[in-house]
A and B are shown apart, each in its own frame.
Chain A
Amino acid sequence: MTSFLVRRTGQAALALFGVCTLIFFLTRLTGDPVLLMAPEGATRADIEALRTALGFDRPLIVQYWEYLNGLMRFDFGQSIVQRVPVMDIIVSRLPYTLGLAAAALVVALGLGVPMGVYMAVHRARPLARVLMGVVLAGQSLPTFWSGILLISLFAVTLGWLPSSGAREVTSVIMPAIALGLLSMATFARVARSAVLDELSKPYVRAARAKGLSTGRVVRRHVLRNGSIPVISVSALEIANLLAGAVIVETVFAWPGLGLLTVQAIQARDFPIVEAVVLLSAVVSIGLNLIADILYSVVDPRITLDGAAR
């Protein structure tokens, strides 16, 4: 176990080093932030003066060395557009993205799983077919469009919910629905096939033969067994929710990392882009590491050190 951890941590560190090197040089290939900052009509000398003041005139390798040095001290530098430490900006934005993803997950699970179960148990009923259509529609609606529809209905016409921003608790409802609808379809389909799968198994027949009602069989036995694929899909969907948040955050003016990233990329605000990419890399490498460790906890047949038991 220990040698496994040491090896995997080493691998993770190497992967992170690769990510920050790659992102450092890639961002610098994508364009010049100084040109975007200089006002129209700025002369070459003005632009060069700005470049010097921002430190972009120095050799790339020097800038890279300084960047790595900063990282060692958890210093991500300063946003070149806002002139505020990147760490402060990320820390202020991260809770919004996590909150939105969590709320969307609640919507997706809360709607998707019951729908999937209903569609499996009552697959012959007309309502199940209607729900199938709803699920399909939920997955097909682009969020930039469904988001605007939600705003028109609930904010403009009915006036029930705040139309955008993050000023009160209710602000999260519409973005969470718009974002959750996409994953809802996945959960509904996975739940449906998992339940169908379980329903055809012998233990269900045995339970029914014992005299249990369908409802009770489903509640007591099928749901529990059928929940395993739903849980594995949840892990994948969390990543999807974070990615999908970019568009939803723009439509609803939700001040999360997605919106920040889009704006930073447009302005070539390198330090922010680098920090966000690094953060996602840390998250996914970290999650992978945890998952590997959890495998052995869940299933004792899997050993971590590679030695046969």
Chain B
Amino acid sequence: MSHFWKPVRKGAVATVFLGAMSAQAVALETVVIDLVNEPSSLDPHVQWNPDSYAVYRNIFDNLLTRDDDGEIIPQVATAWEYLSDTEIAFTIRTDITFHDGTPLTAEDVAFSVERITDPDFGSPQLGQFNQITAAEVTGDDTVVLTTARPYPALLAQLVKLSIVPAEHVQEVGDDAFNAAPLGSGPYVFDAWQRGVQVTLTRNDDYWGDAGPFERAEFRAVPDAATRVANLQSGASNLIVTIDPDMAMQLDMAAGVSPRSALTERVGFLRLNGAREELEDLRMRQAIAHAIDKELIVEGLLAGFDRPVDQMLSPAHFGWIDGIEGLPYDPDTARALIEEIGEDAQRPMVFATAPVFDQRIVQALQQMLSEVGLNVSIELSDMSSYLSRVQSDPEDAPHMNFGRWSCACQDADGVLHPLLHSSSSWSTLNDPEFDAPLEAARETLDEDERLDAYRAVHERVIAEVPLVPLYQAAILYGVDDRLEWTPTPNESMFLNRMGWSD
């Protein structure tokens, strides 16, 4: 039996560390991007979370897209024209082919619309497209979309509509298409090593700007510290979702740097006036006066984010310059609370979930405590949190912190769900909110819409159903050789990147 122990004696410790120890040099033909999780799905009509979107958006072309300045520009559609308030005709490019060589036609566009709006298909994105009641091919290269009513956010929503090959999808079925997606975009799906990475290769026949990298690897790296280590060790060129401390760490490291963009995501504190503790307007005003947004942004978020006074970001249609909210003024807050008297001391619940930055939640609670309010934090998992927040206003928590993005850069996707009486996300039942929100939704006239949203912003300041806090930044870590500009809609287009010389 003694021979069993011999290798041990001879130093198993050393053998463990030996083996191939080559440095991880990344060839410039390949760009490696670290996402948090692997894509949930690469069928663009099935899932639509950042990790999936970042990958499949390079495999597919969308009907429309946004340039780096956020303007809606043509992609599959070259032009569009309103035939009436509810009908819009899109002219489709004729020089696009899918990766299997078949041309992309108007039929594919109509099929894509019908597929994502089919309730039986069960796309989580259904709500973004279900205003579309019909998609009709009216000419060789024309598709007419009909909406149930005038729908001003339609173009903003269509930026998210990927065009899939109708014949191929029907032939292979949804499951096979999901496993091996076939699109028309600048990159071709190559392989999906489950749990590890998705590999794409360049589409050399792409009709638009070709991608600069021969290959792209999107890897799943759930731990942020590991993503930072990957970037620093040269194992990856671009990493997503880091916190401000890590950004500062990367700032000091050689060859890598943090890059940030202000997104269309807005942090806010919702106040539930349907609960008797917050029925009194002075309570809600006191809360707004008690919150120091500057301190949150500078102290906790390292100044990457930006305080806002309206429940939108400048990246949205509906943002109005010059609107000023209730200022940070703890003395006024205390005076209001004193005026209310004992009723102001009633305990209130502040609901939150682990996905939100708990430092911000705690800072908000402390700011409210400092002016004399009695607020306790209740942490629950995301699913329970969402269900509490969307329950009947009388049962919903007194307040909750949220970070909202409609991924449409239009006020309709933010203000309507948060403030309209018909929405499960709103605790309000106030015609003075409903009227301008409906007006803005039912006209295509931009000036009329802006006027309506101005009225909404002003009423938010007057009634304080929520306190807008800040426009959230997204932080990336980037290899200094990589040229790339992050955008407000958190897109990651490989063919808008490049290596610097």
Binding site for B on A (CB under 8 A): 30-33, 35-44, 46-47, 49-50, 52-54, 81-85, 89, 92-93, 96, 106-107, 110-111, 113-114, 144, 147-148, 151-152, 155-156, 159-170, 173, 177, 219-220, 223-224, 250-253, 255-256, 259-260, 262-263, 266-268
Contacts and interface: CB of A to CB of B under 8 A. Distances in A.
A44 B226 contact: no
B17 A173 contact: yes
Contacts of A41: 127, 404, 406, 413-414, 416-418, 423, 425
B335 interface: no
A46 B127 contact: yes
Contact of A164 (B16, B230, B417): B230
Interface string B94-119: 00000000000000000000000001
A162 B229 CA distance: 10
A151 B387 contact: no
Given A83-B41, A84-B179, A39 B21 contact: no
Given A83-B175, A156-B232, A156-B233, A253 B222 contact: yes
B127 A163 contact: no
B405 A159 contact: no
Interface of B: 1-2, 4-5, 8-9, 12-13, 16-17, 19-21, 23-24, 37, 40-41, 43, 46-48, 119-122, 124-128, 130, 174-175, 178-179, 193-197, 219-223, 225-226, 229-230, 232-235, 381-384, 386-387, 390, 404-407, 413-414, 416-418, 422-425
B19 A170 contact: yes
Contacts of A32: 383, 386-387
A262 B418 CA distance: 31
Nearest to A92: B194
Contacts of B24: 155, 159, 162-163
15 contacts: A31-B387, A33-B383, A35-B386, A35-B390, A43-B422, A49-B119, A81-B40, A81-B41, A106-B16, A114-B8, A161-B21, A165-B221, A173-B17, A224-B1, A253-B222
Chain B CB count within 10 A is highest, among A96, A159, A170, A268, for A159
B127 A43 contact: yes
A36 B47 CA distance: 12
A294 to B, nearest CB: 21
Contacts of B41: 81-84
Chain B CB count within 10 A is highest, among A40, A49, A84, A89, for A40
A27 B112 CA distance: 34
Contact of A83 (B13, B178, B416): B178
A159 B23 contact: yes
A253 B194 contact: no
Contacts of B178: 82-84
Contact of B233 (A81, A155, A255, A260): A155
Contact of B222 (A39, A54, A250): A250
A170 B12 CA distance: 16
Nearest to B354: A266
Contact of B229 (A113, A155, A167, A170): A155
A124 to B, nearest CB: 20
Contacts of B9: 114
B126 A50 contact: yes
A39 B386 CA distance: 11
